[in-house]
Structure formats: C-alpha cells, structure tokens
Amino acid sequence: MAVAIQTALRITARPPPSLTRRPFKFLTRCVGGGGGEKEIGRLISGMVGEEVEALLNRRENRPLLDGLNEASRRVESARAALAEIDRREADNARVKEEIARLESREAEIAQTQRELLEARSMVEEAERSLSSNMGDYRSGEISEIDREAERWESIKAATVSSIFGTLAGLPISLYQETNSVQLAFHLAVIFVSCALFGITFRYTIRRDLDNIQLKTGTSAAFGFVKGLAVLEDGSPLQLDTDSLLSHAIDGAVYVSENVFIFLSAAVALDYCFKMRFLSPFPIKK
C-alpha cells in the first residue's frame, strides 16, 4: 500500500506536456482580460484537478485508486474505532469515579453508625449513672433529715397557724354563736383545723416560699373542704327554689369564712418563714 501511494505521488509530480503548455495560454488570456491573481490561481487549480482526475481515471491507475479508497476507508474506520475507544474509556472513568464516590459514602455511613452506637452507649451509661445518683441522693436526703428538729418545727407551725387562724375566726364566731358553749366549741374546731393546716402548709410549701399559687391553693382547698362540711351539717336540702337558693348562699358564706381563716393562717406562717422564726421542710442534720 505504501509503494502504491509513493508511485501515485511520483506520477502526479510529473505533469504531462499538455499540462505545461496550457497555463501559458490561460495566463495570457486572464492577464489580457484583467482578471487578477485570484482568477489565475482558480484557473490553475481547476486545470491541475482535471489533469489529476484524468490521470487517476486511467485503466492502468485504477488499482492504485482502489487502494487509495480502501486506505481512506480503513483510516476512517480506524478513526471511528479510536473515537469509540475514547468514549468507552471516558465512560469507564466516570463509572470508576461513581464507584469511588459510593465507596466513600459507604465509609461515611459506617462511621456515622459507629458514632451513633457510641453516643447511644454513652447516653445509656449517663442514664444509669443519673438513676443511681438520684437514688443515692434520695436515700441520703431521707437519712440526713433531722427528725427531732422536724417535729419541733411542725409543732411551732401548728401553734402559729392555730393562734392566728383562731384570731381571724373570732369575729365570725362571735357573730354566729349565741352562747359561750357554742362559741368555745366553734373556736376549738377552728383551732384544731388551723393546727392541721399549719403542719400541712409547711410540708406542702417546703422551700418554695415564693410560689404564691401553691400558698393560695392550699388555703383555698382547706377553706372549701371545711365550708362544704359545715353546709352539709345544716338543714336538709329540698327540691325547691328557696331551698336551693338558701343552700347556695349559705355555702358561699361558709366557704368564704373558712378561706379567710386559712388565708390569715397562711399569711402568718409565710411571715414566720421569711423572718426565720420557722424553718421550711426539710431540715438536715
């Protein structure tokens, strides 16, 4: 194939006599006609192309032409195969990059799972430690309470609450009762109720001395319970408007009176707590 190409080149390098004679005539015509250099070059290239085509179309040069065409087809096939190889190599490179990215993501996921397991184990350990510490704290808190001091503080709270509660309820008792026996009994009931209220108030408030909702809620609860109990001991309820209205008014009066009594006792206890005359629960050794 290389020998055939070299032979063709040698043949085309030796132009025939007709090719060497014709340019002068065309050049003379073009120059005479004022065509210019571009027209001359176009005519020369056209003549050369015609001569080369006529030379290649000869019968003795037909195998050479077929060889050249076959070589051109092989070159084009080789170029197409090379382009296909480049495309496949690019696809393989992209696939390798995607595999590497997926492998890196898999490693990151595995690392994240290990970190999650470690964090979960740390949380469980912290929960166990916190549970044990809370148990130790509670047991230590119970064991460190000074029971003798607690009894004494409960007695003082009951005394303060009963005294001030009885004083607050004295005008009400004087208004309601008509003889000394009923007055004494009514005051005794108030005294005992306020004593129990003082002990309960101290254990309920504990050291949350600024919680106004807890203080008023405790007083209101005692007032409602005692007021409704007094209403229950009164006259029986009848299914008529007068009886219902009478019981509603009496219930409101009894509840208001007892809430006022227990609120007075709560104010006195709160003042004693803030003045350090009473100690809130608990008292440790």
Which residues does 64 contact at the CB level (< 8 Å), separation at least 6? Answer: 4, 7, 8, 56
Least confident among 61-75, 126-140, 176-190, 245-259: 126-140
Whether the per-residue pLDDT at 276 is higher than 70: the answer is yes
Please say which residue of 10, 41, 57 terminates a domain: 57
**What's residue 41's pLDDT?**
62
Go through 77-112 and write b for each residue having 16 or more CB atoms within 10 A of its CB, e for each that does not.
eeeeeeeeeeeeeeeeeeeeeeeeeeeeeeeeeeee
**What's residue 53's pLDDT?**
65
pLDDT band at 274 (very low <50, low <70, confident <90, very high): confident
Radius of gyration over every alpha carbon of the chain, rounded to an integer in angstroms: 59
Query: Which residue did the predictor score with more confidence, 191 or 20?
Result: 191
* Residue 53 and residue 151 share a domain: no
Residues in the chain: 285
* Residue 156 and residue 38 share a domain: no
Whether the per-residue pLDDT at 180 is higher than 80: the answer is yes
Among 276, 228, 232, CA closest to 252: 228
Whether the per-residue pLDDT at 241 is higher than 60: the answer is yes
* Residue 35 and residue 151 share a domain: no
pLDDT band at 268 (very low <50, low <70, confident <90, very high): very high
Q: What is the pLDDT of residues 65-101, one digit of tens each?
A: 677 778 888 888 888 888 888 888 888 888 888 888 8
In a domain, 210, yes or no: yes
**What's residue 262's pLDDT?**
92
Q: In 3-state terms, what secondary structure has residue 239?
A: coil
Q: Which residues constitute the domain of residue 51?
A: 2-57
- pTM reported for the whole predicted model: 0.47
* Residue 268 and residue 151 share a domain: yes
pLDDT band at 17 (very low <50, low <70, confident <90, very high): very low
How confident is the prediction for the chain on average, in pLDDT? 76
In a domain, 9, yes or no: yes
pLDDT band at 264 (very low <50, low <70, confident <90, very high): very high
Highest mean pLDDT among 6-15, 39-48, 77-86: 77-86
Angle, helices 147-176/241-274, rounded to nearest 10 degrees? 140
Q: What is the pLDDT of residues 118-145, one digit of tens each?
A: 888 888 888 877 776 665 445 545 557 7
Alpha carbon of 217 to those of 107, 112, 158, 197, 203: distances in Å? 60, 52, 18, 12, 14
| CA–CA distance, 228 with 250 (Å, rounded to integer) | 9
In a domain, 96, yes or no: no
Whether the per-residue pLDDT at 56 is higher than 80: the answer is no
Whether the per-residue pLDDT at 6 is higher than 60: the answer is no
Number of domain units in the chain = 2
Please say which residue of 42, 57, 72 terminates a domain: 57
Alpha carbon of 109 to those of 68, 95, 98, 168, 184: distances in Å? 61, 21, 16, 73, 82
Which residues does 244 contact at the CB level (< 8 Å), separation at least 6? Answer: 237, 238
* Residue 154 and residue 53 share a domain: no
* Residue 158 and residue 46 share a domain: no
* Residue 153 and residue 45 share a domain: no
In a domain, 284, yes or no: no
* Residue 155 and residue 52 share a domain: no
In a domain, 42, yes or no: yes
Which residues does 187 contact at the CB level (< 8 Å), separation at least 6? Answer: 166, 169, 170, 173
In a domain, 254, yes or no: yes
- Using a pLDDT cut of 70, give the percent of the chain over it: 70
| Consecutive H or E run containing 62 | helix 62-144
In a domain, 217, yes or no: yes
Whether the per-residue pLDDT at 197 is higher than 90: the answer is yes
